[in-house]
Structure 1
C-alpha cells in the first residue's frame, strides 16, 4: 500500500496568539488536545507506519553553509493509504486542526 508523509504546519502568528493566552488556557488546550491526539492515533494505528513527532526550530544547510531558517513545519507522521485523497481524509478531524492552532496538514506520497 502507498505511504504518505503528513506534515503538520502552523503559522508564527498562530503560535504567538496561542502563547499570548493565559497559561491556564494553554494548559487546558494542551490537556484536551493531547488526549484527542492519542485517540486519533489509536483509531488510525493500523495504517500509521511512523508516529513521527513534533519538531522545533529549523537549521538549514545550503551550499553557502549553515543558518537558522523559518518554515511552517511543526511535525510529521507517515501513514499508509490507498491514495493521497484517502490519506488526506484521515486528517479532517485531527486535533492539530480542531483543538490546537494548527494551520494545516500537507500530504505527500513517497515516490522512491
Structure 2
C-alpha cells in the first residue's frame, strides 16, 4: 500500500481563510472536511492541519500550501477516488499529491 503526502493549494493563505468572521461559514467548512474524513475512513493516516508560510517564502507566489494530509491507497485509481468530491476542490483549490518513498536501509 502506498503512502502519500497531500498538499492543499489555494490562491489565499490558510491564515487569511481563517480570518473569516462568519462563524456559520466556518462551521459549514469544518463539517464538509469532517464528512470527507468520515468517507475516507482508514485511508487517512494523518488528517493534517492548516499551514502557514514562514520567512523566506516568495511573497509573490501565485498559490499557497494551506494545509496537508497523509493518506494511504492501494492504487492510483483508489487515490483518485479518495479525492472525488473533496471540499478543497469544491472551493476552487487544487490538490498536489506526493508519494512518500521508503529510505533504503531504514525499513
TM-score bracket, normalised by the shorter chain, equals: 0.7 to 0.9
Aligned counterparts of 1:52 and 1:90: Cα–Cα separation in 2: 16
The runs of at least 4 aligned residues of structure 1 exceeding 6 Å deviation read none
Aligned residues, how many?
Answer: 98
The answer to whether 1:109 aligns with 2:105 is no
Aligned counterparts of 2:4 and 2:36: Cα–Cα separation in 1: 17
**Structure 2: gaps of 5 or more residues:** 103-107
Normalised TM-score (structure 2): 0.72
Listed as ranges, the matches of 1:23-102 within 5 Å are: 23-24=21-22, 27-59=23-55, 67-70=56-59, 72-98=64-90, 101-102=91-92
**Structure 1: gaps of 5 or more residues:** 60-66
Shift of 1:102: 4.2
Normalised TM-score (structure 1): 0.69
- Kept in 2, the 8 Å contact 1:8–1:104? The answer is yes
Aligned counterparts of 1:58 and 1:69: Cα–Cα separation in 2: 9
Find the counterpart in structure 1 of residue 3 from structure 2. 3
Aligned counterparts of 2:101 and 2:8: Cα–Cα separation in 1: 20
**What is the CA RMSD across the aligned residues, in angstroms?**
2.8
Shift of 1:68: 4.1
- Kept in 2, the 8 Å contact 1:84–1:109? The answer is no
